[in-house]
Amino acid sequence: MALATCFATAAERHRLLPADEMVPDPIFTSTHAITIDAPPDEVWPWIAQMGAGRAGWYSWDLIDNGGRPSARRIVPELQTVVPGDIMPAVPHATDAFVVASVDPPRDLMLTVADGHGATAVAWEHVLEPIDAGRTRLIVRGRASSHWVDLARAQAPAGHHRILIERAYGVLARLPRLLLIAGAAIGHRVMEARHLRGIARRSTVAADRFDTLERWRKPLLSCWVRSCRIGHTISRVLHHDDGDRFRMRRVDRNVCLSHPGESPDARRRRLGAHQHRRVHVVGRGPRDGPVARVDEGEGTTRPVRRVEDTTMNDVRIARITGTFGIACVALTFGQFPLWLVGNAPSVYDGRGFAQHLFDIRNVALTRILMDQAIYVSMLVFAAGLRHLIRQARAASEWIGTLLFGAALGWVAVTVVADGLEGGAVLSTLNGHPDPSAVQALIAGTLLIYNGSIAFAITGLFLGAAAWATFDSGVLPRWTGWIAVTGAVLCAVSVPAMYGGPVDTTGFYNAGGWGPAIVANFPPMIWFLVASVILIRRHDNHTRAIVRVA
């Protein structure tokens, strides 16, 4: 049951429910559902007794129930529910949730008033019997714009806000796009746990449920500690102190000098033997490592390092990380500029032209910031390509693919900036061509924050993940962040088939969904990789050597 899916079907998501009439114009709506192996009569008692300070919400109690555990048994005195009753949303709440309607054991409607005679939030639980004595529990939630005002309001004197209230207070102060994205993610996490909690309680006997809950945390704690012990043992077994014997691949920076050898002869020899192995066997005069170079066929020659290139790699890593941080900082710093003004529909050419004229300085500032982002990204990609080659020479082509993807991304987005800049400049004479403005902006959306950019960004992240796994240039777990970002970019590519451009919609060429899922994960990877590179202390031994 813990792994039960809580995704609603397409029919359930588009089905009309009474909650839709309570909040006709929502800024946020969600529908989740779960199949429970029990009839509605056995599921209903758990729903009837919900509420903070009552039986709880069966979700993350520390977040939404003040840390008080949700009930594990049916409470008889809480089974009577009538319209007008209060099921407190948080401990000590006296005005929400209000029971708007109830039809045991089929439907429960909870609402939050907006203070103006309408409904700010509607939350409905619908129980439908299905085959073999099972129940399909469908939960619909809708919130109007007045909910934002309620979340921003100051808490009454003496009221101590719990974690979920503080989270909603922070979300309510974010720009609309981030507000909806954060609410969708948070609500999904909490409501999935809520549905699974109801399902688990409805299908497990009370004594067995108590046993499961009693052992849940100890077993989880044992599992976490076992993982830590296993990780420690693995590090001990594979530890390489490097004090007595180390082997490192010599890359193109290694230069062996023979007495009396001409420069041409040395270049020919190095071209054939650029991947010899250096065995570091001790330390020589002036604390310089003394080594032996593998000559092949079991023979070696003593050499002494005369120039260390490790510091060069560390310096390059730090420069790379610094420009990566700059790229992230500029990207997030640019984000508020996209929220200036109320942009009309892309299909309203005349209205959009007026909008561009009104924000012309902001739009041109965005374009200028883009140029700094592009420069930072190219330096980051070039530095990372070098580090990949240094970590493993055979992975150089992957680094080249990564740099090529970055170069392609910069090229197409420069075109998008040119289209947007052209649209802005065309409005400055006071008589813009609406059709031209509309075409330029549509092209900008498709390239800059649309399917074309998503495809190239996905290629860049995929190459970064491959290089990480193949060369070890970054910790392996960062490769999985890159994989996640690449997958999300790939999922966002078909958004251009999602119908007309609608910035308030989730999945279309200009929707907020692809803009969030295809932009923020790459920025997270950039940030993590940059911090690691800045803090890097390279232990690899690469040297320019000569015959002792």
Q: Is 80 exceeded by the pLDDT of residue 220?
A: no
Q: Which of 32-36, 320-324, 358-362 has the lowest mean pLDDT?
A: 358-362
Averaged pLDDT, 311-319: 82
Q: For residue range 471-484, what is the model confidence (pLDDT) as tens digits?
A: 888 999 999 999 99
Q: Is 50 exceeded by the pLDDT of residue 279?
A: no
Structure confidence at residue 447 (pLDDT): 73
Higher pLDDT, 157 or 323: 323
Structure confidence at residue 216 (pLDDT): 56
Most confident of 98-107, 403-412, 496-505: 98-107
Averaged pLDDT, 226-244: 51
Structure confidence at residue 255 (pLDDT): 44
Averaged pLDDT, 219-227: 61
Q: Which of 19-28, 165-174, 238-247, 367-376 has the lowest mean pLDDT?
A: 238-247
Identify the band that residue 339 occupies on the pLDDT scale cut at 50, 70 and 90: confident
Structure confidence at residue 496 (pLDDT): 78
Structure confidence at residue 147 (pLDDT): 74
Structure confidence at residue 1 (pLDDT): 42
Q: Quote the strand ranges of 10-52, DSSP E.
A: 28-36
Averaged pLDDT, 257-261: 52
28 contacts 180 by C-beta, under 8 angstroms: yes
Higher pLDDT, 47 or 348: 47
pLDDT more than 70, % of the chain = 74
Residue 397 φ then ψ, to 5°: -70, -30
Structure confidence at residue 135 (pLDDT): 92
Alpha-carbon separation of residue 468 from 282, 395, 444, 463, 511 (angstroms): 31, 10, 32, 8, 32
| pTM (predicted TM-score) | 0.46
Q: Is 50 exceeded by the pLDDT of residue 286?
A: no
Residue 544 φ then ψ, to 5°: -95, 125
Identify the band that residue 222 occupies on the pLDDT scale cut at 50, 70 and 90: low
Computed over every residue of the chain, the mean pLDDT equals 76
Give me the CATH topology for the region 10-204: Alpha-D-Glucose-1,6-Bisphosphate; Chain A, domain 4 (3.30.530)
Give 110: exposed, middle or buried? Use CB within 10 Å, 0-12, 13-18, 19+.
Answer: buried
Structure confidence at residue 307 (pLDDT): 42
69 contacts 176 by C-beta, under 8 angstroms: no
Q: Is 70 exceeded by the pLDDT of residue 546?
A: no
Structure confidence at residue 265 (pLDDT): 59
120 contacts 110 by C-beta, under 8 angstroms: no
Structure confidence at residue 82 (pLDDT): 92
29 contacts 121 by C-beta, under 8 angstroms: no
Residue 40, C-beta contacts closer than 8 angstroms, at least 6 positions apart: 105, 106, 127, 128, 129, 135
Structure confidence at residue 253 (pLDDT): 40
Q: Is 90 exceeded by the pLDDT of residue 127?
A: yes
Q: Is 70 exceeded by the pLDDT of residue 319?
A: yes
Averaged pLDDT, 435-458: 78
pLDDT more than 90, % of the chain = 20
CATH 3.30.530.20 residue ranges of the chain are 10-204
Structure confidence at residue 125 (pLDDT): 94
SS3 of residue 92 by DSSP: coil
Identify the band that residue 200 occupies on the pLDDT scale cut at 50, 70 and 90: confident
Q: For residue range 498-518, what is the model confidence (pLDDT) as tens digits?
A: 777 777 777 777 777 777 777
The candidate with the shortest Cα–Cα distance to 498, out of 514, 486, 487, is: 514
Higher pLDDT, 263 or 367: 367
Q: Is 50 exceeded by the pLDDT of residue 542?
A: no
Structure confidence at residue 344 (pLDDT): 77
Provide the 8-state DSSP code for 273: S
Higher pLDDT, 250 or 260: 260
Q: For residue range 140-156, what is the model confidence (pLDDT) as tens digits?
A: 999 888 877 777 666 66
